[in-house]
Amino acid sequence: MHDDRNLVEARLKRVLDERIRPAVYPHSVPLEVAVWDAPDEPVPVAEGLAAEPRPIAVGARWGAPWGTSWFRVTGTVPEEWAGRTVEAILDLGFDENMPGFQCEGLVYRPDGTPVKGLNPRNQWVRIGAPAAGGEEVRLHVEAASNPVILDYHPFLPTQLGDKETAGDEPQYRLARMDLAVLDETVWQLVIDLEVLGELMAELPVESARRWDVLRAVERALDALDLQDVNGTAEAARARLTEVLATPAAPSAHRISAVGHAHIDSAWLWPLRETVRKVARTTSNMTALLEDEPDFVFAMSQAQQWAWVKEHRPEVWARVKKAVADGRFVPAGGMWVESDTNMPGSEAMARQFVHGKRFFLDEFGIENDEAWLPDTFGFAAGLPQIIKAAGSKWLLTQKISWSQTNTFPHHTFQWEGIDGTRIFTHFPPVDTYNCSMKGAEIAHAAKNFKDKGVARHSLAPTGWGDGGGGTTREMVAKAARLRDLEGSATVVWETPRAFFEKAEAEYPHPPVWVGELYLELHRATLTSQARTKQGNRRSEHLLREAELWAATAALRTGFAYPYEELDRIWKTVLLHQFHDILPGSSIAWVHREARRTYDRLAGELTAIIEDAQRALAGEGGEPLVFNAAPHARSGVPAGGAGTPGAGDATTVTPREDGGHVLDNGLLRVEIDGRGLVVSAYDLAAERETVAPGRAANLLQLHPDFPNMWDAWDVDAFYRNTVTDLTDADEVTAADDGAVRIVRAFGSSRVTQRLSLAPGERRLVVDTEVDWHETEKFLKLAFPLDVHAERYASETQFGHFHRPTHTNTSWEAAKFEACNHRFVHLEEPGWGVAVVNDSTYGHDVTRTVREDGDHGTTTTVRVSLLRAPRFPDPETDQGVHRFRHALVPGASIGDAVREGWRINMPERRTEGAGAVAPLVTVDQDAVVVTAVKLADDGSGDVVVRFHEAHGGRAAATLALGFEAASVSVTDLLERPLSDAAEPARDGDRVSVRLRPFELVTLRFTRA
């Protein structure tokens, strides 16, 4: 037989495009349209419905950037359409290639009842099936003219990302506003042919099935009269019945489709617009659930559910009913789909506490899965947190974006720093916006890396980010793919149903140990420094507020601010969303974030000061409150007292220019360039700075990645570097510090280097007035340490990364995340670099070719970037950072100093010392939270972990009377399989495994 595949396939494409799809709506009449433009921010629904609109014609321009226009469409169903299926086609000017990234609408009836969302791939509104002839149609559309930020030529700088700079030029042109008859037979024929055409393209040319499909399609096209598509569609469909009914092979890959609409809680739109995106999508999905009995939809992010409840109660009622029916599924159990690299220990825990508690309180549903399809890599401490929250599964897709290495598994056990393992799945479909195309389904089956031992995978299906979620076309395609020869099988299922099946069929999956590092988007650890500083500061202020409020509540009857702390925690958690904290959102988002963090800092500081005043009492004795988890200067952790004084620091001129700082523990030489050329550990008789090198070295790189400007830093940035060694000023300050001023480009840096009395710690305070573009600023510490690996703090512990690049996996980690410290050591001596607000860093090693041939290991802290997309003014202005170099540091010293630099002492006056609520006799056991239980019972909750990476036995001494103690999960619920800790009066004994996390709940006597 002659090979005529190309001929038939080209015929199918043209006939579909030019004849069949246009025949889906064979008859239409125009609707009358009027519009009212809201004057500023979105208005309540009632106000939009009541506003008096002006006439507008199809083809007219509308919608200033970030504006809201209320369209009123009216018309009458023609009498001759009686008994037919009639729909309104409402095209606001959509580009079908960009669902979710342009204008959107929500349709209402005149009484304010929401109908469904309008999106580029979802422009229809059902009027009647069957329709009544002469029926009056009146609909209202709340249309958002969100500008297109990520256009066909992506990553171009734009002022559209902030309402204050976007201008008022209309963005869209009204395209179609019609009533139309839907020919359901033709619509079904389109789906038949799309499914078969897409399947055919994926089958091997030599397979009989491909030719069976090809001939069936050819026969269907032969049966179709192109001059009467509507009259012959049924006959064409009949020619496809047999080929569509042939069942899949028993060995076919099995896909659990989950209705999905990944909605970034902020990204190329502000938070307020996400509220409306969620309302539109949930309206769409509740309507689709009513029409499609097999369909199941899952939505994550408790914050987004809470927005619907608060802002769209009429939509919320429909959502609650669909949840009760078991088909609209709360997923993930987190407050938002957060970044997981940068949030601190307690913040990562509270993502699950607040997320799971919302779903429990609202629906009685316990989430067993963490759902993070789009997060930019996963910290090694996360498995323990997932388990401690009462969950056991993780889903993500993002690791498939890695540029260098292909991850070897799709289903596996992920092991965290403490040994906890979480059953994890990466959907092999490689998208969280599956649209049920044949290419996607075939890719999932071919790509699945666990063939032979497993055959289930999951496909999150639907347009995200305001694209409207799953469409009826996707559901119709899935129905045909349920059991179709040549294809993987598809069935709609909940995430729980998928994970139960996947876990049952694969009892011994492979294990991946350590972080799930995304080999992409590394610059999100640095972009938008103020957002990152606001997050770090808020996390530590929340720790202080809970600690001192709980202490004051027990000691003085202070009113514990349950509601305020709950609200503030949820706000901080929201801003840890994976496009806010990483710095990859538009200018509007980060402008609002800065204001929000400033407001929260004021509120938390007021709580802290009120509680401390209550605890200090009346008196004139100087007091220092120490909120850090380690004693310092004679003041116990979690208590207040009078600090001791260490030996004074001396500042003397250096022979070759510069200054020498000496406090009896460290002698630091700062040369005439303001660079640290020596940091000598006097007790160990050991030099810290590598020979011939200088620390406190600011380095400037060009930074223009190939794409994803705010997200990415590409490895070639390191090819060019400028050492900032010229100093305008290097002087000894009156307070014993050395002050350094440098100018470069359009920017200026002022630094203070100081040694605290009695402390083995060089503090580097850096102020940068930053006005560079597409540059990357680093702060380097070349260390005389031979280290093949280094420790990096993560949630509830630390883990090690290699300093070498033996393999492509190691080489790809050229920019990585740490929390408060990185630590390097040789046996018996180490160095820590600690920070108060930075996350990105790199660690490299070289062998010196002259002199002693020793190893130089360089730690570089990432300070600032200046990408121009999506915020063209990223990081412009003044920034302040604090770092410290700690020579002779053990891992325990690194832990302690990391806390110290983030938890400054608070000084006041009062009647006398304040004893801690809880004291721990082992430095390796770090208390991360002391608070009152969230349920308002007055119980005391104490959370702690082993922080050094070894086993620890410790005693907790209580500073209050406790009737009982229990081990709980993160939600403060007793664990049935946990033994009650050994207790002797006010002392509780615990034994911890390396990095083990424990939460204790004490009922008060």
Strand 829-835 to 639-641 pairing: unpaired
DSSP string, 739-801: EEEEEETTEEEEEEEEE-TT---EEEEEEEEE--SSEEEEEEEEE----SEEEEEETTEEEEE
- Structure-block tokens of residue 675: 């660079």
- Structure-block tokens of residue 561: 């601010």
DSSP string, 500-542: HHHHHH-SS--EEES-B--SS-GGGGTSSHHHHHHHHHHHHHH
Q: Where are the alpha helices (H) located in 171-260, listed in sequence order?
A: 184-202, 208-223, 229-238, 241-245
Cα separation of 411 and 503, whole Å?
9
Residue 438: closest CA among 496, 495, 477: 477
Do 371 and 953 form a contact (C-beta atoms < 8 A)?
no
Strand 456-461 to 254-259 pairing: parallel
Cα separation of 117 and 106, whole Å?
4
Name the amino acid, one letter, at 880. Answer: R
Do 724 and 744 form a contact (C-beta atoms < 8 A)?
yes
Cα separation of 562 and 21, whole Å?
58
Q: Please count the helices (runs of H) and the strands (runs of E) in the chain.
A: 19, 53
- Structure-block tokens of residue 989: 């004994």
Cα separation of 109 and 141, whole Å?
9
Do 418 and 534 form a contact (C-beta atoms < 8 A)?
no
Name the amino acid, one letter, at 295. Answer: F
Q: What are phi and psi of 990, to 5 degrees?
A: -135, 150
> Euclidean distance between the first and final Cα of the chain, in Å?
90
Give me the active site residues, please.
374
Residue 350: closest CA among 387, 389, 396, 300: 389
SS (H, E, C) 542-567: HHHHHHHHHHHHHHHCCCCCHHHHHH
Query: Which residue is associated with the tokens 């721990």?
Result: 920
Structure letter (DSSP) for residue 206 = T
- Structure-block tokens of residue 385: 């947190």
Question: Can you tell me whether residue 204 is helix, strand or coil?
Answer: coil
Structure letter (DSSP) for residue 22 = G
**Segment (H or E) for 845:** strand 840-847
> Is-cis flag, bond preceding 26, omega within 30?
no
